[in-house]
Amino acid sequence: MSDFQSTIDDVTQSEYKWGFVSDFDEDTVPKGLSEDIIRLISKKKEEPEWLLEWRLEAFKHFQTMVEPEWANVHYEKPNLQEIKYYSAPMSKKTLESLDELDPEMKSMYDRLGISIEEQKRLANVAIDFVVDSVSVQTTFKEELSKLGVIFSSFSEAVKDHPELVKKYLGSVVPPRDNYYAALNSAVFTDGSFCFIPKGVRCPMELSTYFRINAAGTGQFERTLIVAEDDAYVSYLEGCTAPQRDENQLHAAVVEIVAMKNAEVKYSTVQNWYPGNPETGKGGVFNFVTKRGICKGDNSKISWTQVETGSAVTWKYPSVILLGDNSLGEFYSVAVTTNFQQADTGTKMIHIGKNTKSRIVSKGISAGKSQNSYRGLVQVKRNAKNAYNFSQCDSLLIGDRCGAHTFPYIESNNPSAQIEHEATTSKIGEEMLFYCQQRGMDLETATALIINGFVKEVMEKLPMEFAVEAKKLLSITLEGSVG
Amino acid sequence: MIKIENLQASVDGKEILRGINLEVKAGEVHAIMGPNGSGKSTLASVLAGKEDYEVTGGSVNFDGKDLLDLEPEDRSREGVFLAFQYPIAIPGVSIANFIKTAVNEKRKYHGMEDVKATDFLKMIKEKMSLLEIDNKFLGRSLNEGFSGGEKKRNEILQMAMLEPKLSILDETDSGLDIDALKIVANGVNKLKSDKNASIVITHYQRLLDHIVPDFVHVLLDGKIVKSGDKNLALELEEKGYDWIKEEQKALA
């Protein structure tokens, strides 16, 4: 084995730094999936009757569905009867302020690098913390409510704004949409709810931090973002999980609605536990449905994602471009190392006139991992002058990994213009030697090359997030290249 | 500055350098000429520490250090610079960012702090005006979509910024028209001092009209078979390499 190869091995085998388990009392339900469990979850959450009915309807459909197999990933299908569908850290009473937080919980945040003290001072980011099945804390709620912005856990929204939740829940991702969306609809426990009223530009980033803590638990969160006419919001999501030998299932649903002239930016830094680097054992199955609809004219939805974690990732944040002149964007960096597998991309569905979409996907594969881009650009019959530009670049590190691109294009309107560019490159010895000859060691060189490769996407992230994402990227690939 | 003694190297078991002897002192410019396949670029790569080449014998002393014992990045930090024949593109990495990283790596090695952003900018702008390079150059991705002339000028700019003791220019004239050649040669001449030295590897004598060497060496089958002053280059231009080959045969 050459030095080059062993350096690559070092880099790709860095440790997962968020793998600890916090020890607090948990309120859980027995494992297994059944109508009774769904009723129990609904009862624990004190939900209205209509929501329980909605769940049960979804469950009925779910039982008629089979797990799809078309993705370019291989895994042992999770046994849904072995999963606990509800787990909540027990708090003694409702918190009046962050200062009353359980010390163990507080220490968990600190270890995650989310210091609560700091959060209190961070003036421009409001955060909702979701641990396992429940939201534990939302910051800046009051400040936001003065503007009419609703930012709360999903459960609270169900209690406080049932009419809004009822109106939009399932309007973009219907319960029957797909296998895991149906499962989520039946058993979802919490998540975030954002509502930006007409004409309001949300003055701070809204952010949700998801954490799976309890063993044997799945996380099924639901996020709903609604931006009324002329509204603007930028939303961020981050996530981690403890290191466990069994696979954990994360099946979330995110729905975004953008009305006339509204703009929603949704950014994700996904860092679920990727499994044991040497054996490939354990890790999170990240099977997520994310979809937005540009409902009104001139509206805009933009997805930016940095995917570094999970054993298996399977998701396609999509935009339905219904309103005339609406714009959908997808910027993605997906990194796989060791035994990770990712099949990710986007769908852009052009329905309105003069609709535009832009796709920039950067895949990085190292170790023995497999990384696939899968995208669909669909132009419907009446989507006059639809325009799409797609760029899919893959970077390979070492010679035991794979990159795959599956672009699908369906155009039903002759005026549509669709452009697709794709490249595959390898961080080769020549590139590294060039950097070494300029005095850089292999790690510095690799970091430099990778940062260059992903630059276009990183620039789309909100500033605070970009720094974190860059750090995460270098930690993930530590020893592979930088 | 550098003393190469009986250097032997092979690639994939095939012997390419068969005992090179060369000494270069501060302030000197040495040209190495030779036909295709004679081992010119191999010599450059071996000195820079490229992994594909296996050193099978001999020694290289660089300013009192065993050069062959150093990692490629440390050779660079000690002051060996290789201007590549085919500089590689690194998409998304700006020239400014690349050079700054390189400069700071070298400073770190020598126990110095990172260069201040303002100082760096001032310095690189000075060097760019010296080398007649447009300011817009800085923001461009390294070597991506560059013309042959731009690539070579970028190499010389990096050389100017890293201020090496020994510069090895590997076929710097290849792919250049005469105007670009003059600009590049001019840059090299401006950077010349009595503290640094250059080894200029070239096929053709035309580069040596502009970078005038103190010594000219002819490399043939992995050995330096003839050395002289700049007139030797002119002689080679006129008569080719065959007469030297004949001479060698006669000697054997």
pLDDT tens digits, one per residue of A246-273? 678 889 999 999 999 999 999 988 887 7
pLDDT of amino acid A92: 42
pLDDT of amino acid A93: 45
Search chain A and give the residue with CA nearest B82. Answer: A437
C-alpha count within 13 angstroms, C-beta hemisphere, residue B162? 34
A140 φ/ψ sector (left φ>0, alpha ψ -120 to 50, else beta): left
**Mean residue pLDDT across chain B:** 93
State how far the Cα of A11 lies from the Cα of A474, in Å rounded to an integer.
9
pLDDT of amino acid A216: 67
**CB-based burial of residue B238 (10 Å sphere; 0-12 exposed, 13-18 middle, 19+ buried)?**
exposed
A442–chain B nearest CA distance, Å: 9
Counting residues of chain A whose pLDDT is more than 70, the rounded percentage is 80
- What residues form DSSP beta bridges with A285? A249, A312
pLDDT of A12 over the 50 cut: no
B241–chain A nearest CA distance, Å: 31
- Total domains in the fold of chain B: 1
Q: Which residues of A touch B141 (CB under 8 A)?
A: 452
Mean pLDDT value of segment A300-305: 95
A172 is a domain residue: yes
pLDDT of amino acid A217: 75
Confidence of residue A1 (pLDDT cuts 50, 70, 90): very low
Confidence of residue B249 (pLDDT cuts 50, 70, 90): confident
pLDDT of amino acid A427: 85
Q: Which residues of B touch A430 (CB under 8 A)?
A: 88
B48: containing domain = 2-251
pLDDT of amino acid B179: 84
A208: containing domain = 2-476
Contact B73 A455 (CB under 8 A): no
Q: Which residues of A touch B142 (CB under 8 A)?
A: 452
Confidence of residue A121 (pLDDT cuts 50, 70, 90): very low
- Rounded alpha-carbon distances, angstroms, from residue A143 to A22, A202, A252: 31, 11, 28
Enter the tokens of residue B60.
Answer: 């290289």
Q: Which residues of A touch B73 (CB under 8 A)?
A: 436-437, 439-441
Mean pLDDT value of segment A313-340: 93
Q: Which residues of B touch A425 (CB under 8 A)?
A: 91
Mean pLDDT value of segment A443-459: 89
Contact B73 A436 (CB under 8 A): yes
pLDDT of B252 over the 90 cut: no
Q: How many of the other CB atoms lie within 10 Å of CB of A66?
A: 6
pLDDT of amino acid A443: 85
Q: Which residues of A touch B168 (CB under 8 A)?
A: none
Contact A436 B72 (CB under 8 A): yes
Site from A360, A432, A433 to mutate, B interface, most B CB atoms within 10 angstroms: A433
Counting residues of chain A whose pLDDT is more than 90, the rounded percentage is 45
pLDDT of amino acid A318: 96
pLDDT of A123 over the 60 cut: no
A482 is a domain residue: no
Mean pLDDT value of segment B11-34: 95
State how far the Cα of B226 lies from the Cα of B215, in Å rounded to an integer.
11
pLDDT of A110 over the 70 cut: no
pLDDT of amino acid A24: 59
Contact B51 A2 (CB under 8 A): yes
Q: Where are the alpha helices (DSSP H) in A30-178?
A: 35-44, 49-62, 103-111, 116-121, 141-145, 154-160, 162-168
pLDDT of amino acid A125: 54
- Total domains in the fold of chain A: 1
Contact A453 B92 (CB under 8 A): yes
pLDDT of amino acid A127: 63
Domain CATH for B141: 3.40.50.300
Contact B92 A439 (CB under 8 A): no
The answer to which of A437-446, A468-477, B146-155, B241-250 has the lowest mean pLDDT is A468-477
A456–chain B nearest CA distance, Å: 8
pLDDT of amino acid A296: 97
pLDDT of amino acid A438: 97
Q: Which residue has the tokens 């062993």?
A: A6
Confidence of residue A482 (pLDDT cuts 50, 70, 90): very low
Search chain A and give the residue with CA nearest B162. Answer: A438
Residues in A lying within 8 Å of B, measured between beta carbons: 2-4, 425, 429-431, 433-441, 444, 448-449, 451-456
**Mean residue pLDDT across chain A:** 84
Search chain A and give the residue with CA nearest B158. Answer: A438
Confidence of residue B47 (pLDDT cuts 50, 70, 90): very high
Residues in B lying within 8 Å of A, measured between beta carbons: 48-52, 71-73, 75-77, 81-82, 84, 87-88, 90-93, 97-98, 101-102, 105-106, 109, 141-142, 158, 162
Say which DSSP state B112 is in.
-
Confidence of residue A241 (pLDDT cuts 50, 70, 90): low
A481 is a domain residue: no
pLDDT of A214 over the 80 cut: no
pLDDT of amino acid A2: 46
Search chain A and give the residue with CA nearest B44. Answer: A437
Mean pLDDT value of segment B158-163: 96
Each residue of A365-386: pLDDT tens digit? 988 888 999 999 999 999 999 9
The answer to which of A90-94, A210-214, A280-284, B169-173 has the lowest mean pLDDT is A90-94
Search chain B and give the residue with CA nearest A457. Answer: B92
Each residue of A64-84: pLDDT tens digit? 999 888 888 888 888 888 888
Enter the tokens of residue A126.
Answer: 């409001």
Please give the interface size between A and B, counted as residue pairs whose CB atoms are below 8 Å apart. 76
Mean pLDDT value of segment A111-135: 55
Q: Which of A429, A441, A451 minimises the CB distance to B51?
A: A429
A34 is a domain residue: yes
- Rounded alpha-carbon distances, angstroms, from residue A310 to A271, A282, A336, B178: 7, 9, 9, 56
Say which DSSP state A219 is in.
B
State how far the Cα of B83 lies from the Cα of B90, in Å rounded to an integer.
16
- What residues form DSSP beta bridges with A423? A393
Q: Which of A437, A448, A455 minimises the CB distance to B101?
A: A448
Each residue of A37-68: pLDDT tens digit? 999 999 988 999 999 999 999 999 999 999 88
Confidence of residue A97 (pLDDT cuts 50, 70, 90): low
pLDDT of A242 over the 80 cut: no
Confidence of residue A4 (pLDDT cuts 50, 70, 90): very low
Site from A6, A435, A457 to mutate, B interface, most B CB atoms within 10 angstroms: A435
pTM: 0.81
Q: Which of B49, B72, B105 minimises the CB distance to A444?
A: B105
A155 is a domain residue: yes
Give the ipTM.
0.96
Higher pLDDT, B16 or B250: B16
